[in-house]
A and B are shown apart, each in its own frame.
Chain A
Amino acid sequence: MAADYKIAIIGSGPGGLSAAGHAAELNISHVLIEKAAHLSDTLFKFQKGKFVMSTPDVLPLRSPMPFEAGKREDILGNWDDTAAALKVNVKLSTEVIGVEGEKGNFTIKLGDGTSVTAEAVILGIGLQGNLNKLRVPGADLPHIQYQLDDPDEYELERIIVIGAGDAAIENAVALSVRNTVYVLNRGEDFARAKPANEALITSAIDAGRIQPIYKANTLSAGEGTLTVETPEGEVTIECDRVIARMGASPPRKFVESCGVVFPSDARNALPECTEQYESNVAGLYIVGALGGYPLIKQAINQGYEAVEYILGNAVEPADGPILKSQISILNTDDVEGFLKRVRESIPIFSNINSLMLREMMVESTVHKFAPGDVVFEKNDYTNSFYVVLEGAVAVVLDENDHEKRIVIGLGNYFGEMGLISGRRRTATIKAESNCVLIEIPRRTMIKVRGNSPDVRQALDQEAAIRQIQTYIAPDVPREDLIGIAKSSEIKSFKLGEVLFNEGDEADSLHLIRKGSVSVSKRLGGRSVVLNYVASGNYVGEMGLVSNAPRSATVTAAVACETIQIDGAVFKNLMASNLKLKASVESKFKDRITQNERASQAGTGGGILQFLLEQGVSEATDVLLIDEALCIGCDNCETACAETHEGISRLDREAGPTYQTMHIPTSCRHCENPHCMTDCPPDAIKRAPSGEVFIEDSCIGCGNCARSCPYGVIQLASPENKKAGILSRLFAKSDASEKAPKKAVKCDMCRDIEGGPSCVRACPTGAAVRVAPQALMQLQGKAS
């Protein structure tokens, strides 16, 4: 008996819908079964008006279903229209309760007791159909809900949001505008959420718009109440509504009932599939989030490809053409062969999964260099990561002495310091022989490092060795450093956290690899900042050299990472290497002199302290105004607006002042820009010369503005080109034509000859731009 359909598709999310659309356009008999009364339920349940991203941007879309970044409503509308136009055979409001049979003859049992048969099944049911629900008495009461469609529907209600993830935060913040909102958090912070959301909820809590209840567990729900266990005891909260956003997990029972096997018992484990998305049940394919592809665009492509595989066609993966063009420089189009070569010849990538490797390669660039070519220059602000796929490169230690160089060969990598510190390149790299390099953008590499513990560990250890070699012991052979690196520890310090206190026993040395620290001492009963030490330097050698307790307190001036080297191990190393000993001792003497001068100077510490408190130590270029010269004409702001679409990116008057030094609200181009941490379209970039700027691809989401601790990013619509005076007088004003809002900030006038217009336009010379490192070192030396 022939089956009813060639392909049955369960679930009409991006993957399923795309598969059905492709089957429809090929005129293949198919059925699309959806539990909800509309297509694509997960997206349907997104918050109203939510902006949906189309990452990975470079991946081309191959499907009859259109998709580009946009509002939830537009995307759903397009899909409905396309499904209708293609005459997709869809059964809405139909639940699937089981799948039985085998390739060529599957029976899909439906909720109404009927069933359909199909030769192949595509399972695209995602995870959101199986939201984690409260498992407490009263969980089925009507005032408890698990999603929020339109936050504006509710007004003047008391609402409890349960959860600490992105969905919970987005809901709570949106609701807090018109309602009293409590957030129940099982933990003590919101670190699990995206940084921008964490900032969003933290500021809402600080402002009193949302009341958090930490370490809280829901015990039961009653009519209009929720009872919660907190460290202070049980509380019953009266409320009009409870919104529980506790994530989702695979509908494991159902999937297992279809015969699919899960590799582990973990709650979030996903079924294993072949590269063709086929599960252990032949003929049953899994696409989308359930198959481990959480992004919409990936799922859409998978739907298309799964149909092709069912038809027995070989399909080149969607990223194939991109990868081919990436490697065309090597005169080959064998993508698989190339990826295999990457995996085999570059040890740090030997264990990452192929999806991640492909994604990484799509975003990377393959370069060929001839001997002597410069890969990057010392002091560039570029921060990409390089691996050597063929040949070798050399780190130039002395521009005038060709012999002084370190060769980096096949399979090795360089540029990793940029990943960590965000500082300028520490050395020039030149090609040693004909070589092939893969350049991986910083953001991509950080993602890979974050997702792969192997990569992380390998990078961290090698980075420690190289940093110790570069900053402390350039003359010590590498072999001697391996042991040091192994016995050392990477430590993180939050702003204001103390590395060690004055009077502590000196048992270790800290090499600062990210951020900066301040050195202070108690003088006359108060703490005086003596010095500022930036990344790439070490602290703590004084106690080791003099065998005395710590002579000063060292505090993180911004969030820091240090390599903590054991004191005894370091002393041994010094004993065996006289050059190192001499260099550390000379540093020790410099420090004593410097600290002594600074403590005598008195007021100097004040201004240093002021600068550190204002976070200037993490800046690379800061605008200062000398209030002894500023006449308040605001020509700086006018110049900024005139050169930047009518919007000034600096607020002269706002900002702190110490004596006559004023720090206006203006971008400081941080070493590790806070704004960059969570930009969905990756529109914030750092130019080789150091300026951080926002590209036109900005979508105006405001994440950067919330992440910036200095409040220097605004969301504004660029003004239309200034009209002439006559047209301004006579033309009707047309305010409705304003462009959508985008994030704007100082770009140091990177496109304007002559540099920052604020400084150029200052008539009295009050406005100056300085690199804080230079400023603070100057401060330390002057007396």
Chain B
Amino acid sequence: MEIKLSESFLAYKGFKYLKISVAVLIVTLIAYLAHDPGRTPNGGTWFGYTFGVISAGLVLFLAWFGVKKRQYMSGVDLLKGWLSAHVYLGVLVIFLSLFHSGFQLGVNLHSLLWYLVLFTVLSGMYGVFCYVRYPSILTGTRQGLTRTEILLELSELDLQAREVAMGLGDEINTVILRAAQGTQVGGSIRKMLEVEPKDCPTRLALLFVDGTSVSGDEQETALRKLSAVLTRKAELLRRLRTYVRAATLVRLWLYFHIPLSIGALVALVAHVFAVFFYW
């Protein structure tokens, strides 16, 4: 039994924008196929102009999402509705702009615009994939704990490890101290994406402890305890790093999507300018 309280942006109002996009695509495709421009299809015919204007308008609308997202005070509509439209109309714009140009692509400013739009949309599609894939990982790894709580528990485990290590040799103490002070979560992009880094001091400490043998009951008990504490810490770290990786990936694509979209906007202005003044 499951109660559906929430509705994903993809399913917004019963896939309203998906339906609109598909309908528009079908109608325009038929129109494109039926239309005979009388010469090679291109953006300069009345048909091409019409599609050019529609596509440019759509690109501006898609870019407006960046502004809309930050307008917290105004508007009664839900941002998820806007995102839904942003996603489906974004895919549509690839096709409409192809109809505009009559599928002419080359190596020039005008084609650059199309490629920029294409890559913006592709990065966005990857974003949608992230938005579907990662939320459950974000939740699953935390298991009800907040990041702060996980960090607190980690430092608690460090204290425990150092306490237990007191009764063991200097070498172990050095390794444990390094595990407590040198273990890092995140940092560079590469680090943020690594779930089980080979050079993690905690991992190394665990390997070292498990490879050490001591004599005497007390020492053995301490060693076993130390191994248990470090194993717990390693597991917690793995979870935290999985979380960090997911949280990074869920944002990382935006570092491509937004610069690309700005590039597309600039190229759009250049394209329109070029068309009207130099054609």
Contact = CB atoms under 8 A, between A and B. Distances in A.
B80 A631 contact: no
A754 B82 CA distance: 15
Given A629-B135, A763-B83, A765-B7, A653 B146 contact: yes
Interface in A745-768: 752-755, 757, 759-768
Contacts of A604: 1
A782 B250 contact: no
A640 to B, nearest CB: 8
B80 A764 contact: yes
B169 interface: no
Interface residues of B, number: 33
A601 B138 contact: no
Which of B1, B74, B147, B250: most chain A Cβ within 10 A?
B1
A710 to B, nearest CB: 16
Given A627-B139, A629-B6, A779-B3, A761 B144 contact: no
Interface in B108-163: 130-131, 134-136, 138-139, 144, 146-147
A755 B77 CA distance: 10
Nearest to B75: A754
Interface in A60-87: none
Contacts of A654: 146
A631 B135 contact: yes
Q: Place the interface of chain A in its size category.
A: 35 or more
Which of B5, B144, B146, B250: most chain A Cβ within 10 A?
B5
A662 B3 contact: no
A762 B79 contact: yes
Interface in A322-338: none
Which of A766, A768, A783: most chain B Cβ within 10 A?
A766
A779 to B, nearest CB: 6
Contacts of A25: none
Contact of A632 (B72, B77, B250): B250
A779 B1 CA distance: 9
Interface string A613-637: 0000000000010111111110100
Contact of B138 (A631, A753, A765, A775): A631
Contacts, number: 108
B232 interface: no
Contact of B9 (A757, A759, A763): A763
A765 B8 contact: yes
Nearest to A638: B72
A566 to B, nearest CB: 38
Contacts of A755: 76
A762 B3 CA distance: 20
Interface string A595-607: 0000001111001
A754 B1 contact: no
Contacts of A631: 130-131, 134-135, 138, 250
Nearest to A643: B72
Contacts of A638: 72
B32 interface: no
Nearest to B80: A765
A489 B147 CA distance: 50
Nearest to A753: B76
Interface in B146-198: 146-147
A719 B146 CA distance: 27
B152 to A, nearest CB: 13
A764 B83 contact: yes
Which of A602, A639, A765: most chain B Cβ within 10 A?
A765
Contact of B135 (A602, A627, A783): A627
Interface in A725-752: 752
B144 A657 contact: yes
B12 A765 contact: yes
Contacts of B79: 635, 760-763
12 contacts: A603-B1, A626-B5, A632-B247, A635-B69, A638-B72, A653-B147, A763-B82, A764-B9, A765-B80, A768-B6, A770-B5, A775-B3
Interface of A: 601-604, 607, 624, 626-633, 635, 638-639, 642-643, 653-654, 656-657, 660-662, 752-755, 757, 759-768, 770, 775, 778-779, 782-783
Interface of B: 1, 3, 5-9, 12, 69, 72-80, 82-83, 130-131, 134-136, 138-139, 144, 146-147, 247, 250-251
